[in-house]
Structure 1
Amino acid sequence: MRRRDVLGIGLALLLGGGLLYGLLLWAGLDTGAAQQVSSVVFLLGCLGWTVGYLKRVLSREMTLKAQWATFERQQIQEKLHSLSPEEWQALQAELASETEEEAEGGLTEQGKC
């Protein structure tokens, strides 16, 4: 997450809390009740975020290994999308020849046993 994103989230929380407090005052709640309701909403939001974060950590979706694998898949996908049709056909031909070589090599090794 970039610094800009963090500042944006912080500003949104600040403005959202102020807006909620103002709306509660406008709706007729006294200042104490409006403060309590605003605080409870903020607390529930923080707890929800924490539970979601812990869920991702405990399910191992937040590990560096998982994030790196996702990044690599995205990079490969971008490279494949940027290939011209000729480059794409050449890559497919190369992969097909490698697959055939591996299949032949596997049969040869099995025959030696």
Structure 2
Amino acid sequence: MRRIDVIGIGFGIFVAGGLAYLFFQSVGLDSISAGIWAQTLLVGGLLGWLLTYAFRAVTQTMTYNQQIKDYQQAVLQKRLEELSPEELERLQAEVEQEKEKEGKCSSGN
């Protein structure tokens, strides 16, 4: 996110708080109550965003993590495409041997 985006979002939240304050005053609340309710709304929104952020961080579904996974997939795909048919066949045989070893180990327990 660019610095100007952060400034824009901050300014937008500031304006939203002012509009919420004016709305609550227009509905008939006094200035203190309108301020309290406007702050409650903003804090509630902030806590909601924070919870979604924490959830995405814990489940690793953030943009950065997804970009790394996509990059790793692309690198592996490129390496597979560059293998000769003989190398690919040898690699597949190794994978099959590993699967058989894992199958024997887990069934032996």
Q: How does the TM-score come out when normalised to structure 1? A: 0.61
Q: Which residue of 1 aligns with 2:78?
A: none
Q: 1:100 aligns with which of 68, 85, 94?
A: 85
In the TM superposition, residue 46 of structure 1 has moved relative to its aligned partner by 0.9
What is the one-letter code of the residue matched to 2:49?
W
Structure 1 outlier segments of 4+, above 4 Å: 106-109
Tell me if the contact between 1:25 and 1:31 (Cα under 8 Å) persists in the aligned partners.
yes
Q: Which residue of 1 aligns with 2:44?
A: 44
Q: Which runs of 5+ in 2 are unaligned?
A: 75-80, 95-109
Tell me if the contact between 1:21 and 1:35 (Cα under 8 Å) persists in the aligned partners.
yes
| Cα separation, partners in 2 of 1:33 and 1:51, compared to 1, 3 Å | same
In the TM superposition, residue 67 of structure 1 has moved relative to its aligned partner by 4.5
- Answer with 9-18 or 19-28: which moved more: 19-28
Query: How many angstroms apart in 2 are the aligned matches of 1:40 and 1:106?
Result: 60
Query: How many angstroms apart in 2 are the aligned matches of 1:98 and 1:61?
Result: 32
In the TM superposition, residue 34 of structure 1 has moved relative to its aligned partner by 0.5
| Cα separation, partners in 2 of 1:101 and 1:37, compared to 1, 3 Å | same
Map Cα deviations across residues 58-96 of structure 1 (whole Å, 9 max, x no partner).
1123495x25425638xx6xxxxxxxxxxxxxxxxxx4x
Count residues in correspondence. 89
Query: How many angstroms apart in 1 are the aligned matches of 2:16 and 2:58?
Result: 30
Q: Which runs of 5+ in 1 are unaligned?
A: 77-94
Query: How many angstroms apart in 2 are the aligned matches of 1:100 and 1:11?
Result: 59
Alignment of 1:4-15 (within 5 A): 4-15=4-15
Tell me if the contact between 1:57 and 1:63 (Cα under 8 Å) persists in the aligned partners.
no
